[in-house]
Amino acid sequence: MKILITGAAGFIGSHTAERFKKEGHEVVGLDNFNDYYDLSLKKLNAEDLIKAGVEVIEVDLRVEESYKPLSTDFDFIIHFAAQPGISSSCTFEEYLTNNIIATEKLIKFAHQNKNLKQFVNIGTSSIYGLEATFPESVAPMPASNYGVTKLAAEQLVLAESRSKRMSACSLRLYSVYGPRERPEKLYTKLIACAFNKEAFPLFNGSEKHLRSFTYVGDIVDGIVAVVNRYESVNGEIINLGTEVEHTTQDGIDYVEELLGKKVEMNVIEKRPGDQWRTNANIDKAKKLLDYNPTTGLKEGLQYQIDWYKEKFL
């Protein structure tokens, strides 16, 4: 099969591209290589993909001209590319163009692929709102520009399925961590602060937040299962994550234990729109995909620490 992955130089996209290539598929990765975070990190990911045999192309999904060099014989499109996270430095226009406009342009391109079996949208638990503990049937209540625009992108994709113009589904991911996690995210930032002897910026009260911290490999397992069973998931929204809850403090404690050192905390003002609890309800994923995440938080954090040491020390 020939698979197109957007946001392929990013965290989860790069792992997904590698997995499908390893399984013998032809994989093309797209990324706009923007400067939301240090470009050198995306380039490291891209280098790993190229070594693995994945073609990586720089494309701005918001610009129709960017699609012209692409072939139109893809069997699957897996859409990770987005303006991520909850950040005061991002304007609404950045969320709007990267999450909604780009998705709409990509859908137009998808229609040019006559053999396309499915468009897999990558959503987020932020769509649910401040508490994400629900089955997929619950009405979403996003509380951030990120969540609002990701919901809109998801609905654009699912509208194609409802109207029978294209087979499509959307996956809502929960608190993913592991090697290649973005530098501003919890665990990469925490590990970096530990090794660099810097204070970690802890949002006030966030140490009590509950999370379904899900190892990236378990997320990729779910995505692979979706592609393998695409006929049974058309039109579906599916949560992917772990049912095991941990507080942010639990994660901090594990990192300190694994590193054998304490990390100084610098408590800063909490950010609006931050979820206080996520706990993945994966009953549907179990039923449709036989989904079963198995990597514990401490085990996954050791993998992430090993990756950080290899790449940055």
Q: Tell me the C-alpha distance between 59 and 62, whole Å.
A: 9
Closest CA to 241 of 214, 222, 221: 214
Q: Are strands 76-79 and 118-124 parallel, antiparallel or unpaired?
A: parallel
**pLDDT at residue 36, as a whole number:** 86
Evaluate whether 282 touches 240 at the Cβ level (below 8 Å).
yes
pLDDT score, position 86: 75
Question: Which residues are identified as catalytic?
Answer: 146
Using DSSP bridges, classify how beta strands 131-132 and 277-278 pair: parallel, antiparallel or unpaired.
parallel
The identity of residue 190, as a single letter, is: L
Within a 13 Å sphere around the CA of 279, how many CA atoms are in the beta-carbon half?
Answer: 11
Question: Under the phi-then-psi rule, with left for phi > 0, alpha for psi from -120 to 50, and beta for the rest, what region is 172?
Answer: beta
Which phi and psi angles does 75 have, rounded to 5°? -85, -35
> What whole-number distance in Å separates Cα of residue 252 and Cα of residue 190?
8
**Amino acid 210: pLDDT:** 96
Contact residues for 287 (Cβ-Cβ < 8 A; gap 6+): none
* pLDDT given at position 89: 75
Give the position of tokens 């342009």: 105
pTM passes above 0.95: yes
54, 89, 97, 102, 239 from 94: Cα distances, Å: 28, 10, 5, 11, 26
Task: Report how far residue 18's alpha carbon sits from residue 54's, in angstroms, rounded to the nearest whole number.
Answer: 7
Total residues belonging to the chain: 313
Q: CA distances (Å), 172 to each of 11, 125, 133, 272, 304, in order?
A: 16, 5, 12, 21, 22
- The whole-angstrom separation of Cα 206 and Cα 228 is 38
Per-residue pLDDT of the chain (313 residues; tens, 9 = 90+): 999 999 999 999 999 999 999 999 999 999 999 988 889 999 999 999 999 999 999 999 999 999 999 999 999 999 999 998 776 678 999 999 999 999 999 999 999 999 999 999 999 999 999 999 999 999 999 999 999 999 999 999 999 999 999 999 999 999 999 999 999 999 999 999 999 999 999 999 999 999 999 999 999 999 999 999 999 999 999 999 999 999 999 999 999 999 999 999 999 998 887 899 999 999 999 999 999 999 999 999 999 999 999 999 9
According to the model, what pLDDT value does residue 88 have? 65
DSSP 96: I
Domain architecture of the chain: domains with CATH? 2-173+215-241+279-293 (3.40.50.720)
Farthest CA pair distance, the chain: 55
